[in-house]
C-alpha cells in the first residue's frame, strides 16, 4: 500500500459514520456555484491539492461567468486544480450515482438558487444532482451559502437542507484569529468547513490553541 493510499484510508476512517465502511475512498466532490465569492472554491481546490484528497469538481455555468468577473483565473486553470472535473449537464458522471463512493460534497460558494434546488430535490444540473445523491446516501454535505440579507424563503431552504442532514456553513470571518488580509479569512473559513469532513489542515488558528511558547495570562 502506497503512502497516499495509507493516508486516504486514515482520512476515510476518521470521517466514517456508523453506517459507513471505513474503506471509503478519500474522494471529495467540490461544487462551485455562480454566487459571488468564487475564490472560495478555487482556494479550496488549491488547499486540497496539498492533501491526499482526490477532488471531483462540478462547476455551474454561472460559476464560469462569476470566475471571469471576480478573478484573473481561466476556467481551464481552475479545472486543472482538480483530479477530475465534469460539465454542468453531465448527468452520467460518476458523482451522479450513489454507488460511487465519496466522503461527501462541499459547495463553495453556494448560491441561493443552488440551495433552493437542493432543498426541493429538483436536480436540473449535475451540481444539484450530486448534492442530492450526497444527502440520500447519508454522506456529509456542506453548503457555504453566500447571500445576505436573507428572506424567509432562504431560511426555510436552509432549514430543509439541515433537516435532511446537510450543513449550512456560510463564510463568516473569525475575527478572533486576527486576520491580516482577506486570504487569511478565506483560508480559515475553508479550514473550518473541511474540519466537518475530518480533514484538518495544518497551520489553522483555533480558539484555545495557543502558539508554541506563548501562554495567555490568567
Residue 33 maps to which CATH number?
3.40.50.1950
Instruction: Report the domain count for the chain.
Output: 1
Q: Is residue 15 part of a domain?
A: yes
Q: Is residue 153 part of a domain?
A: yes
Q: Residue 20 sits in which domain range?
A: 3-195
Query: What is the band of 15 on the pLDDT scale with cuts at 50, 70, 90?
Result: low
Q: Is residue 202 part of a domain?
A: no
Per-residue pLDDT at 217 = 45
Indicate the pTM of the whole model. 0.86
Question: Of the candidates 190, 137, 145, which has an alpha carbon nearest to the alpha carbon of residue 164?
Answer: 137
Q: Is residue 143 part of a domain?
A: yes
Confidence check: pLDDT of 13 > 70: no
Q: Is residue 211 part of a domain?
A: no
Q: Is residue 207 part of a domain?
A: no
Report pLDDT digits (tens) over 29-78. Answer: 999 999 999 999 999 999 999 999 999 999 999 999 999 999 999 999 99
Amino acid at each position: 500500500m502506497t503512502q497516499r493510499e495509507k493516508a486516504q484510508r486514515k482520512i476515510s476512517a476518521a470521517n466514517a459514520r456508523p453506517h459507513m465502511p471505513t474503506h471509503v475512498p478519500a474522494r471529495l466532490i467540490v461544487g462551485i456555484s455562480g454566487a459571488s465569492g468564487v475564490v472560495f472554491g478555487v482556494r479550496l481546490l488549491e488547499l486540497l491539492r496539498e492533501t491526499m484528497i482526490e477532488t471531483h469538481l462540478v462547476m455551474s455555468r454561472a460559476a464560469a461567468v462569476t470566475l471571469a468577473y471576480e478573478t484573473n483565473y481561466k476556467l481551464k486553470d481552475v479545472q486543472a486544480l482538480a483530479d477530475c472535473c465534469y460539465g454542468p449537464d453531465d448527468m452520467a458522471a460518476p458523482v451522479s450515482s450513489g454507488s460511487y463512493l465519496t466522503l461527501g460534497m462541499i459547495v463553495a460558494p453556494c448560491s441561493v438558487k443552488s440551495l433552493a434546488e437542493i432543498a426541493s430535490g429538483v436536480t436540473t444540473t449535475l451540481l444539484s444532482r450530486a448534492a442530492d445523491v450526497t444527502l440520500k446516501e447519508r454522506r456529509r454535505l456542506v453548503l457555504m451559502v453566500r447571500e445576505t440579507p436573507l428572506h424567509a424563503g432562504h431560511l426555510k431552504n436552509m432549514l430543509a437542507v439541515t433537516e435532511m442532514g446537510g450543513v449550512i456553513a456560510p463564510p463568516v470571518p473569525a475575527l478572533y484569529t486576527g486576520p491580516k488580509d482577506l486570504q487569511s479569512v478565506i483560508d480559515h473559513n475553508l479550514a473550518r468547513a473541511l474540519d466537518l469532513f475530518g480533514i484538518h489542515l495544518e497551520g489553522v488558528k483555533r480558539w484555545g490553541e495557543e502558539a508554541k511558547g506563548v501562554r495567555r495570562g490568567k
